[in-house]
Amino acid sequence: MRVLLTGHQGYLGTVMAPVLAAAGHEVVGLDAGLFADCVLGPAPADPPGERIDLRDVTPEHVAGVDAVIHLAALSNDPLGSLAPELTYDINHHASVRLARLARDAGVRRFLYASTCSVYGASGGDGLVAEDAPLRPVTPYAESKVRVEDDLHALADGDFTPVFMRNATAFGYSPRLRADIVLNNLVGHALLSGEVLVLSDGTPWRPLVHAADIARAFTAALTAPREAVHDRAFNIGSEINNVTVAEIAEQVAEAVSGAKVVITGENGADPRSYRVDFSRFRAAIPGFDCEWTVKQGALELADAYRKFDLTREDFERRFTRLAVLRAASEAGAVDDTLRWRR
Ligand SMILES: NC(=O)c1ccc[n+]([C@@H]2O[C@H](COP(=O)([O-])OP(=O)(O)OC[C@H]3O[C@@H](n4cnc5c(N)ncnc54)[C@H](O)[C@@H]3O)[C@@H](O)[C@H]2O)c1
């Protein structure tokens, strides 16, 4: 398949592009490149692609494409809360526009990177499946719900949207993010000796390795249409349904000498959900996630040591919000996050 991969220069896209290529697909990238230089370790070999803002996509970008994997977005709650209107412009409106262009161009499959954050304040200890009520508590999560609704309305006999509701990712990617929970806790543990938890540690936070997300998308790309057409899937595994306190314990075991410190200063996080991941396994026989939280913590600690992660890079270069703030203060991007040059 010829696959348009948006967000190919992000944390997940950088891991996914080679997995797609190894499965025999021709990958074309599309990304504004906001974090293209945020690399830890050897520079990744990106697929051919265009540096373009999602809001400026034209029919030529989807011409001749068999499938779209749409990852490009302002990718977390702090970014979404920075400028809610911008989040809706980029994450919602531009995504739906891309999907319409794709459908008009005859693209048959559109895999959308949604999130388990759509369950938001679902709370409780029961498992949340895809048909549970959606209770987004942030503009980021709300933008994902709106895209799912609008893409659902576009589904027809020739156009198959698939909603991939990923758990929170972890693991090494050359374009590292240190602002997601496991990556953050491992970095903090190595740099300070403390596994610092600011919430009270009780929220459930299902996790999934970036490589398992890449494998799931690759499987969904070629799955029989009837197995995935217009369906939502939670992406992850029950074994990685963990509380923040449990994540911290795993990190302390992976980084010898590190101590867990739960300050509780941010109180109880309202985002808490335990997730049922069985629907995707049923749709894609043989698929299961391979990585546990502990393995991921060990992998990250190795990578951080090997590539000499510094405190400066940990706090700025690999924190999406800090990178965008710095680009804005330096005048490199305008207040709509478009490059000035
Ligand atoms: N990482 C996670 O834990 C996680 C979990 C669930 C869902 N997701 C979703 O997966 C997708 C990828 O996440 P990620 O962790 O790789 O994030 P990321 O921030 O590393 O990558 C996002 C990419 O989108 C690009 N982008 C942002 N705005 C753009 C615009 N206006 N035009 C063109 N490109 C733009 C950025 O340059 C970046 O390369 C996102 O949609 C995110 O919401 C991520």
pLDDT at 123: 64
Separation CA 184–CA 189 (nearest Å): 9
Residue 7 Cα to ligand 1 midpoint, Å, equals 6
Q: In what order do the strands lie in the sheet with 204-209?
A: 168-170, 204-209, 241-243
- Testing ligand 1's pocket by substitution, the residue of 9, 12, 56, 93 carrying the most ligand atoms inside 8 A of its CB is 12
Residue 178 Cα to ligand 1 midpoint, Å, equals 14
Q: Is residue 41 lining ligand 1, measured as CB closer than 6 Å? A: no
Give burial (CB, 10 Å; 0-12/13-18/19+) of 338.
Answer: exposed
Element (DSSP H or E) covering residue 80 = helix 77-82
Residue 12 Cα to ligand 1 midpoint, Å, equals 7
Give yes or no for a contact between 214 and 10, defined as CB atoms under 8 angstroms apart: no
Separation CA 125–CA 341 (nearest Å): 50
CA distances from 126 to 52, 180, 274 (A): 42, 24, 7
Q: Is residue 172 lining ligand 1, measured as CB closer than 6 Å? A: no
Separation CA 286–CA 222 (nearest Å): 14
Cβ contacts of 103-106, under 8 Å, gap ≥ 24 = 103/154, 103/156, 103/158, 103/159, 104/59, 105/59, 105/62, 105/63, 105/65, 106/158
* Atom 18 in ligand 1: residue holding the nearest Cα: 10
Residue 303 Cα to ligand 1 midpoint, Å, equals 22
* Atom 1 in ligand 1: residue holding the nearest Cα: 169
Dihedrals φ, ψ of 326, to 5°?
-65, -40
Separation CA 163–CA 232 (nearest Å): 4
Interval 133-183: pLDDT, tens:
999 988 999 999 999 999 999 999 999 999 999 999 999 999 999 999 999
Q: Is residue 35 lining ligand 1, measured as CB closer than 6 Å? A: yes
Interval 247-296: pLDDT, tens:
999 999 999 999 999 988 887 777 788 999 999 999 999 999 999 999 99
Residue 321 Cα to ligand 1 midpoint, Å, equals 12
Residue 58 Cα to ligand 1 midpoint, Å, equals 20
pLDDT at 142: 94
* Atom 39 in ligand 1: residue holding the nearest Cα: 10
Q: In what order do the strands lie in the sheet with 26-31?
A: 49-51, 26-31, 2-6, 67-70, 109-115, 160-166, 232-235
N- to C-terminal Cα separation, the chain: 34
Q: Which atom of ligand 1 is nearest to the CA of 166?
A: 6
Task: Give the E-state strand segments of 263-323 in sequence order.
Answer: 274-275
- Testing ligand 1's pocket by substitution, the residue of 39, 71, 289 carrying the most ligand atoms inside 8 A of its CB is 71
- Among 289, 182, 196, 184, residue whose Cα is nearest residue 234: 289
Q: Is residue 208 classed as helix, strand or coil in its secondary structure? A: strand
CA distances from 110 to 67, 262, 267 (A): 6, 41, 39
pLDDT at 19: 98
Cβ atoms < 10 Å from Cβ of 126: 11
Whether the full predicted model's pTM is greater than 0.85, yes or no, is yes
- Superfamily (CATH) of domain 2-176+207-241+271-291: NAD(P)-binding Rossmann-like Domain (3.40.50.720)
Q: Is residue 10 lining ligand 1, measured as CB closer than 6 Å? A: yes
What are the residue boundaries of the structural domains of the chain, listed by start?
2-176+207-241+271-291
* Atom 43 in ligand 1: residue holding the nearest Cα: 75
Instruction: Please provide the DSSP assignment of 47-64 as one string.
Output: PSEEE--GGG--HHHHTT
Q: Is residue 166 lining ligand 1, measured as CB closer than 6 Å? A: yes
Which residue is it, tokens 């509380």? 243
Give yes or no for a contact between 62 and 4, defined as CB atoms under 8 angstroms apart: yes
Separation CA 246–CA 252 (nearest Å): 10
Residues of 88-119 as b/e, b for ≥16 C-beta within 10 angstroms? bbbbbbbbbebbebbbeeebbbbbbbbbbbbb
* Amino acid of residue 151: L
- Among 148, 192, 229, residue whose Cα is nearest residue 314: 192
- Testing ligand 1's pocket by substitution, the residue of 75, 82, 147, 213 carrying the most ligand atoms inside 8 A of its CB is 75
pLDDT at 259: 96
Cβ atoms < 10 Å from Cβ of 160: 23
* Atom 24 in ligand 1: residue holding the nearest Cα: 72
Give every residue of the chain whose pLDDT is below 50, as ranges. Answer: none
Q: Is residue 177 lining ligand 1, measured as CB closer than 6 Å? A: yes
Separation CA 30–CA 49 (nearest Å): 5
Residue 259 Cα to ligand 1 midpoint, Å, equals 32
Q: Is residue 141 lining ligand 1, measured as CB closer than 6 Å? A: no
